[in-house]
Every structure is written in structure tokens, then in C-alpha cells.
Amino acid sequence: MKVVFGLGNPGEQYARTRHNAGFMVLNEFQHRFLPEKHFSFSSKFHSDLIQFDDLTLAKPQTYMNDSGKAVQTLLKFYKIQDLHDLYVIHDDLDLELGKYKMQFGTGPKVHNGLSSIYRALGSENFWHVRVGVDSRQGDRTLPGYVYVMQQLTMDEEEQISKVCDEVGQVLHGQL
């Protein structure tokens, strides 16, 4: 079974923030490739889920900094030990808005959601689907944690929508 977690924060107030890039990619993936399926909340897995054949899509509802709880619970329940079957989609301030990277065992310098997952799993060796959200053009006056919690501008929404579509297509080809 392949498991794809899209990281973000639950709640309407976070829906259009940079930090919810993982949720945005999964929403686009579902819309494009599984339109007949819908996310539903599972308290057992602390996540909104779509389960389809040998694929599970999950959006943790634990808030970003506690994402490891949801990831660990689901992997343990399904006895998934090969982390090559785990994909985690997340925002990345190390990449420009509109760019992405899919790398095994390589994430950004700092990301609290990933740190939570690393602690829960005792490993960084899974697929990191890094979605660039940095459009600051060198202006670092705002700390990163403040910047990622801001709402996307209309231009940024267009760019992130395109990259979500690209990432969804790449994931579809790998899953």
C-alpha cells in the first residue's frame, strides 16, 4: 500500500495559507484523478482520508506541528514498514513559489511538521514532496513561520494551483 500525506492545518482560516500546500496538492489530486471519491474524517487516524485500492491519501487534522501522530498511527495500523511507500507533501520555504522537488530522505532545513514526523518514525527516509512557497524575492523581514501562515495573494494562488497540478500528475505516475 502507498500512503500519501499532505501536510497542512485544519480549519477554514488556514485553507488559503502557504503552510497548507500539502492539503492543496491532495485536493487537486482527488479532484483530477479520483473525482468520485471524497475525503472523510477518521478519528482513529486523526486525518481526513481517501482509501482506494492500494492507495491512501491523508490530510492530518492534528495541526502541522503534531503531524507525526497521524502518520505513525496510520503506518502502524497498516503495518507499513517500507518507508519507500510513504510520500509526504509539504510547503517548503527553501524553494521558490511555483517550483517543487520530489526527493527521498531530503527535506527543507527547518519544518516543524516534518520534525514531528521524523521524531514519530525515527527516520527521515521517505519521499519528501517539497512544494515551493517562497515569493519573498529576498525580503526576509518576516520570520518564516509568520510568512507561511499568511494568506496567498491571487497571483500566488494561480502559481500554486499550477504546481499542485504538476505534482499531482507526477504522483499519479508513481503511485
Query: What pLDDT does 155 receive?
Result: 94
Query: What pLDDT does 97 receive?
Result: 94
Query: What pLDDT does 136 receive?
Result: 82
Predicted model pTM: 0.95
Tens digit of each residue's pLDDT (9 = 90 or more) over 65-88: 999 999 999 999 999 999 999 999
Please confirm, yes or no, whether 111 is among the known catalytic residues: no
Query: What pLDDT does 102 receive?
Result: 96
Tell me the residue range of the domain where 141 lies: 2-174
Burial 143-170 (b: 16+ CB within 10 A, else e): ebeebbbeebeeebeebbeebbebbbee
Kind plus residue range of the DSSP H or E element containing 133? strand 127-134
- Provide the CATH number for the domain around residue 111: 3.40.50.1470
Count of residues making up the chain: 175
Evaluate if residue 170 carries a pLDDT over 80.
Answer: yes
**Is the Cβ–Cβ distance between 18 and 94 less than 8 Å?**
no
Q: Report the candidate in 89, 60, 53, 94 with the shortest Cα–Cα distance to residue 74.
A: 60
Query: What pLDDT does 139 receive?
Result: 79
Torsion, Cα of 85, 161, 173, 124 (10° steps): -20
**Is the Cβ–Cβ distance between 54 and 94 less than 8 Å?**
no
User: How many structural domains does the chain have?
Assistant: 1
Tens digit of each residue's pLDDT (9 = 90 or more) over 89-140: 999 999 999 999 999 998 877 888 999 999 999 999 999 999 999 988 877 8
Tens digit of each residue's pLDDT (9 = 90 or more) over 29-63: 999 999 999 999 999 999 999 998 899 999 999 99
Q: Report the candidate in 173, 89, 103, 174 with the shortest Cα–Cα distance to residue 133.
A: 89
